[in-house]
Amino acid sequence: MSHNTIEINRAMDKFDGHHSVWLFGYGSLIYKADFPFIERRPASIEGWTRRFWQGSHDHRGTPEAPGRVATIVPQPGAVCHGMAYLVTPEEFAHLDHREKNGYLRLAIDIHFDGGGSEEGLVYIAKEDNAAFLGAASEEEIAAHIAQAAGPSGPNAEYLLQLAEALRAMGHHDEHVFAIERHLARLRP
């Protein structure tokens, strides 16, 4: 699959005719909502875990030197915490462009902190996309992140802002925090 997934995502019609759709964010969407939304609520999805296995050729890296950003991978029993946004369908033109580097929309059940759930969407970068970098140790991921930068800034900034946002929400993510610890040892 190509790096650019805009057209594939535009063809998804599951929520056509809806006036609003819930969107689950687990990476930069937790702390960087650069789109209008109707409501924002802490939430989680079940059976998925966050991993820094996706390459970023367009935001936190370059085509020649991609950064590493978050995706989610299936893991039985796991819970991935993040932020849910209620948006109008018009926002997906912007979101599809923002998430174009290998991410596809997936329908998913979103569970809100405090109770209740709704079916919504999440962007996921599967291993068959051209930007997928795959598994590595947290130490190797930290070393990669320490060297990468792109038009949206240093790759380390993405990781550190995500770790800070998760802490502010009261959630622990061992993968993210382990990368953060390794990164702190690499940086002066």
Q: Just list the catalytic residues.
A: 99
Contact predicate 30/83, CB 8 Å = yes
CA–CA gap between residue 49 and residue 81 (Å, rounded) = 9
C-alpha 145, offset from chain centre: 16
Token pair in block for residue 92: 């997906």
Measured CA angle at 160 (ends 64, 154), to 5 deg: 30
Which sign does the torsion angle of CA 161, 163, 96, 101 carry?
A: positive
Contact predicate 100/1, CB 8 Å = no
Token pair in block for residue 125: 């970068």
